[in-house]
Amino acid sequence: MSITQNLNIIKNTLPEHVTLVAVSKTKPVSDIMEAYNAGQRIFGENKIQEMAEKYEQMPKDIEWHMIGHVQRNKVKYMASFVSLIHGVDNFKLLNEINKQALKHDRIINCLLQIKIAEEDSKFGMTAAEASNILQSETFSELKNINIVGLMGMATFTDNEQQIENEFKYLKTTFNELKKLNTENCKLNTISMGMSGDYELAIKCGSNMVRVGSSIFGSRNYI
């Protein structure tokens, strides 16, 4: 099936309150353009350089989401245009995003990545770490970032019960942290669910799904 057909099928099954991030990592601009022409405006990439190159080549009404692990020294390459950074997992990174956002006179929206998977390979902070950061004095001074939600990745497993438990844990954490509601932290987004598990994620409270291979086909590498 074509990218357009895949996209339409997924869009038709998503509830209205759920935002679709089309994950275009490793895919050529021509593929992204097909999705764009089918109406998609939000794209997710996991490498900053690749995202910046695509940003240059694509129409400027696209919202680019950084969904991968972010190295501090590369924040500057996306600070002028990125619309949401999903994978923020430490304070030093937040500080750097704030600094680069200030240079561009922008406020950059971020999600805190919470570690919900068992695997060591997945990044993220604990709920307690997130809570401490959000309540700290130093955080309240970061005027050029906005924490708008949480992101999580479930364990790569066939055990659906485990995935469900991990998603539910993220939703519970979200409900807790949402109460903080400070000047630069107003949680409204839960980014969870990918091609294999987004329907389950939505049942567990997700309102932003990151779908790649079900739209663009499988990738040769990650």
Q: Does 195 bind ligand PLP (CB under 6 A)?
A: yes
Residue 189 within binding range of ligand PLP, rule CB under 6 A? no
The two tokens of residue 46 are 């996991």
Alpha-carbon dihedral 155, 158, 162, 166, rounded to 10 degrees: 40
> Could you tell me which stretch among 99-107, 123-131, 136-144, 206-214 binds ligand PLP (CB under 6 A)?
206-214
Q: How many residues bind ligand PLP (CB under 6 A)?
A: 14
Q: Could you give the 3-state DSSP secondary structure of residue 37?
A: helix
* Residue closest to ligand PLP when measured from CB atoms: 212
Q: Does 163 bind ligand PLP (CB under 6 A)?
A: no
| CB nearer ligand PLP, residue 25 or residue 115 | 25
How far is it, in rounded angstroms, from Cα 11 to Cα 15? 8
Binding mask 28-67 for ligand PLP (x = CB under 6 A): ------------------x--------------------x
Distance (Å, whole) CA 121 – CA 115 = 10
Give the footprint of ligand PLP on this chain (CB under 6 A). Answer: 23, 25, 46, 67-68, 153, 194-196, 210-214
